């Protein structure tokens, strides 16, 4: 099965700041798909404005970048990286708190 490298969000984030985190898959046979959930949902349950400030980019076949350019309180929540291949699906979740 895939193995996700643990990731976190910076602490002490407040509205208007930026943040980013990378979900990297350390092991697991291709083909791999990497996706993100917020509070267990995809697409993210965000307003149109907050969603437009949120970007996901595939850095390479084994890592995905989640970046938020203009943090708002509604960005707070649990973000889960899901890595899947034909053998298995694994998840890792980190909490983002915006004050």
Pick the CATH number of 3-96 from 2.60.40.10, 2.40.50.100, 3.30.60.50, 3.40.50.1470: 2.60.40.10
Q: For the chain, list residues with pLDDT below 50.
A: none
- In the sheet with 19-27, reading across from the earlier edge strand, the strands are 3-4, 19-27, 63-68, 54-60
Q: What is the pLDDT of residue 4?
A: 98
Question: What radius of gyration do the chain's Cα atoms show?
Answer: 13
Q: Do residues 82 and 91 touch, judged by C-beta distance below 8 A?
A: yes
Rounded to an integer, what distance in angstroms lies between the CA atom of residue 30 and that of residue 60? 12
Strands 19-27 and 3-4 come out as antiparallel
Q: What is the pLDDT of residue 43?
A: 86
- In the sheet with 89-96, reading across from the earlier edge strand, the strands are 33-38, 77-84, 89-96
What residue segments make up the domains of the chain, in order of their start? 3-96
Q: What is the pLDDT of residue 31?
A: 94
Rounded to an integer, what distance in angstroms lies between the CA atom of residue 95 and that of residue 2? 21
Q: Which residues pair with 89 in a beta bridge?
A: 84
């Amino acid at each position: 099965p895939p193995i996700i490298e643990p990731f976190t969000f910076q602490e002490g984030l407040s509205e208007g700041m930026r943040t980013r985190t990378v979900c990297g898959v350390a092991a697991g046979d291709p083909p791999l798909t990497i996706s993100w959930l917020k509070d267990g949902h995809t697409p993210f349950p965000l307003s149109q404005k907050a969603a437009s400030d949120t970007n996901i980019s595939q850095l390479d076949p084994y890592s995905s970048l989640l970046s938020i350019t203009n943090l708002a309180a509604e960005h707070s929540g649990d973000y889960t990286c899901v890595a899947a291949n034909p053998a298995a699906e694994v998840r890792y979740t980190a909490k983002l708190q915006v004050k």
